Structure 1
Amino acid sequence: MSASILSSARTGFRIDPSRGERSARVSSEWFSRPDDERYLSLSDLHAATLARADRATARTVESRAIRVEASRDNVERLTLTVPGQHEPIAPTHWSFGQMCSLVSAPSSYLRDLPAPLAAINLQHGLLSHRAELVKTLETEDGRVELRAVTGPDYGRIWDHELVGAVRKIAGDGTGDTNWKVPGVIDWATMTHNPYVDITKETTTLYASDRDVFLFLVDDTHPIEAGRLPNGDPDLYFRGFYAWNSEVGSKSLGIASFYLRGVCQNRMLWGVENFEQITIRHSKFAASRFVHQATPALRNFATAS
């Protein structure tokens, strides 16, 4: 890195965001996440997702052995009795939809029915379910909650496993390593300032009860991609984002790329060399995560 580039590090790096492409992927996450899904460090994100997994129990049961009960006249208040679990289980909005899908019942229709009728229809579907076996994921936190219902061969990769793999190369994601929550473009000076406080407004570390998503950059070590028409260096940075859902709402994926800047609403500017790995939660998903996704992330993170 040249002396002129080094000297500009604390005031921002001059960039040309018109080069490359724009990506709204991270921005869409930024717009949609409420405050309770935003985390200020990878350690906080990891602790939250690990605690959730520690309270969870996964089991494979015969679908016909599940009993559906309607204790109140509200379809969202249905409870289930599952073999091996003595307490009644309350399905979440997500797991109720999954269960309906597994037995080919329209969830939107059942939600509009009186609870006793919805329970009868769902029970019939479970009794006649051709696959016979289902895998449940239950979490106990004051009450027992059914977080997911999937097929028996569902290959779960826990959200905390993805966050833990990222922590090995990014630490806390706050600047203790090269990899951090990104800074922001100053449009007045056309510079990317990497030194921005991490707040609920600026963070790019997210987790809900259905998924996890994180975006990090190495924006204090620009790479000279070439020269601009005026002779200035054309600078870009390395970046990646990763996502997962341990309850089956989406696959696991890691996308790596180079970018020239990130604006306040987390739109990515000047993106080039985009590459992506996606792993479906099939039977051998955990093995693919260990042998394919994790090394790819590590290799990109340590490349010069």
Structure 2
Amino acid sequence: MATLTRAHEELFRRTPDQCYDTFESLYQKCQSDRVSAKDQWILPHELNVTHDLSVCLGSVPDYNLNDWSFSQLCRMARVHKDTVNRLSPKTASKALEETLPSTADKPYQILTVGEEIRSVHGVAYTRLWNTELLDIAKEFASDFTPPQTASDGESSGLYCGEQDMFAFLIDPTGWAEIDGEAFAPGFFLWNSEVGRRTMGVQTFWFQKVCRNHIVWDAIEVVEFSSKHTANVRDGLSEVRKVIESLIVKRDERRDGFVNCIRKAMREKLGHDDEQVLSILAKEGVPRHLIKDAMKIARQHGAFTIFALVDALTQVTQRVQLAGDRTEMDAKVGKLLSLALAA
């Protein structure tokens, strides 16, 4: 089993203004960003850095750089960002003016929102909007929700900042039995509209999520990611397949679990006390617990598998040591598999 820490890492690098309580509020934020954004194609000689480090795009002055677009501009100029930050605005603008390519014939792809420049890319970059990924989640996983609020009392696992988006979603009603143990489905979804990270998805089945958003005991972990190149939208089909596969498997397992319960409510474990006692003893259940459980089950009229599992679940709560109680609960839980063999 794997321990997944991607959501845990996101938790401790996000500020409160990047946290969203619900999937819908995250989606609205991403939709608003998309509507207000504008892609501009500007030739290198039409991009000019002014004396106060604002930027002129063609004939339009006074665009401001944010931290990410400033970093990108420094990389294009092949000047270290920390070096530029140590200079006065006037000297820094002169340094960028002299080092930025100005004779190239391929345009820059510049994403602006109002008077702010969100990102600067060359022609090889292909933008993928956050909503394009979230639309897939809405289509196939509308009943998935964020996990419990994290230990900071604010973070829900849904984040969107000026550089990227991240969503952590689980199905709290999707628990199913896999090899005698209980698991629920979940997935991570991430993207950057400004080239800060890849786009991708990771699906899994888990047993526990702690308040630090560490996913414990994960199995069937599937991951897909793609860089923002010309074929990045082909990756949307892969993301759709990965999430759809998780949903299909969840439905199959949930239906199988429901059928198992129904059968357990019909099938008798034994026809008399002696036979029931013998079968449960072979499964490792202590005799004193069996006798107490049989008394409870008898009140429901029959020794069905479900009635006995329910009764044993009640009597194991009397076991004082937590370790022993956990061991007994595991044995009792596996009794449901007897319904499938019946």
**Structure-2 residue corresponding to 1:180:** 145
SS at match of 2:60: coil
Query: Do 1:30 and 1:266's aligned partners in 2 also have CA atoms closer than 8 Å?
Result: yes
Which residue in 2 is equivalent to 1:192?
A: none
Task: Specify the alignment match of 1:253 in structure 2.
Answer: 200
Asked if the contact 1:45/1:163 (under 8 Å) is kept, the reply is: no
Is 1:239–2:186 an aligned residue pair? yes
- Return the offset for 1:212: 0.5
* Deviation, structure 1 residue 42: 1.3
Q: CA deviation at 1:132?
A: 4.1
Aligned partners of 1:133 and 1:109: how far apart in 2? 26
Query: Within 5 Å, which residues of 2 pair with 1:289-304?
Result: 289-303=235-249, 304=252
Matches within 5 A, 1:148-227: 148-171=119-142, 177=143, 179-183=144-148, 201=154, 203-227=156-180
Counterpart residue identity of residue 51, structure 2: A
Equivalent of 2:211, from 264, 269, 290? 264
Query: Where does residue 126 of structure 1 map in the other structure?
Result: 100
Match of 2:54 among 79, 82, 89: 79
Asked if the contact 1:95–1:147 (Cα under 8 Å) also holds between the matched residues in 2, the reply is yes
CA contact (8 A) 2:43 2:105 kept: no
Q: Indicate the residue corresponding to 1:101 in structure 2.
A: 75
Q: Give SS of 1:97's match.
A: helix
Structure 1: stretches of 5+ with no match in the other structure: 1-19, 72-77, 172-176, 184-195, 228-233
Q: Structure 1 vs Structure 2: percent identity of aligned residues?
A: 23
**Residues 118, 49 of structure 1: CA spacing in aligned structure 2 closer, same or farther, 3 A cutoff?**
same
Q: Determine if the alignment matches structure 1 residue 51 to structure 2 residue 36.
A: no
For structure 2, list consecutive stretches of 5 or more residues without a partner in the other structure: 253-342
State the distance in 2 between where 1:291 and 1:147 align: 27
| TM-score, length-scaled by structure 2 | 0.68
8 A Cα contact 1:39 1:203, kept in partner: yes
Cα distance, 1:107–1:202 mapped onto 2, change above 3 Å: closer
2:147 counterpart letter in structure 1: P
CA distance in 2 between counterparts of 1:180 and 1:60 reads 39
| Structure-2 change in CA distance of 1:170 and 1:200 (3 Å) | farther
Aligned with 1:285 (options 213, 227, 232): 232
Deviation for aligned residue 1:120? 1.1
Q: Which has the larger radius of gyration?
A: 2
CA–CA distance in 2 between the matches of 1:24 and 1:246? 23
Aligned partner of residue 219 in structure 1, secondary structure: coil
Q: Distance in 1 between matches of 2:51 and 2:243?
A: 47
Shift of the 167–61 alpha-carbon distance from structure 1 to 2, 3 Å rule, reads same
Change (3 A) 1:131 1:21: farther
SS in 1 for 2:172: strand
User: What is the one-letter code of the residue matched to 2:19?
Assistant: R
Q: Give the number of aligned pairs.
A: 250
- Provide the C-alpha distance between the structure 1 equivalents of 2:101 and 2:188, rounded to a whole number of angstroms: 42
CA contact (8 A) 1:68 1:122 kept: yes
Q: Which amino acid aligns with 1:157?
A: L
Higher helix share: 2
| Distance change in 2, residues 1:281/1:131 (3 Å) | farther
Per-residue deviation, 1:182: 2.1
RMSD: 2.1
Letter aligned with residue 91 of structure 1: L
Q: Which amino acid aligns with 2:29?
A: A
Letter in 2 for 1:81: C
State the secondary structure of the residue aligned to 1:154: coil
Structure 1: how far apart are the matches of 2:201 and 2:76? 28
Q: Does 1:66 align with 2:47?
A: yes
Distance of 2:5 and 2:103 partners within structure 1? 40
The structure with more strand, counted as a fraction of residues: 1
Q: In 2 relative to 1, CA 111–129 (structure 1 residues): closer, same or farther, beyond 3 Å?
A: farther
- Secondary structure at 2:195 match in 1: coil
Distance (Å, rounded) in 2 between the aligned partners of 1:68 and 1:217: 46
Q: Distance in 2 between matches of 1:274 and 1:81?
A: 47
Letter in 2 for 1:63: P
SS at match of 1:224: strand
Local SS of the residue matching 2:138: helix
Match of residue 139, structure 1, among 85, 93, 113: 113
1:127 Cα deviation from its structure 2 partner: 3.8
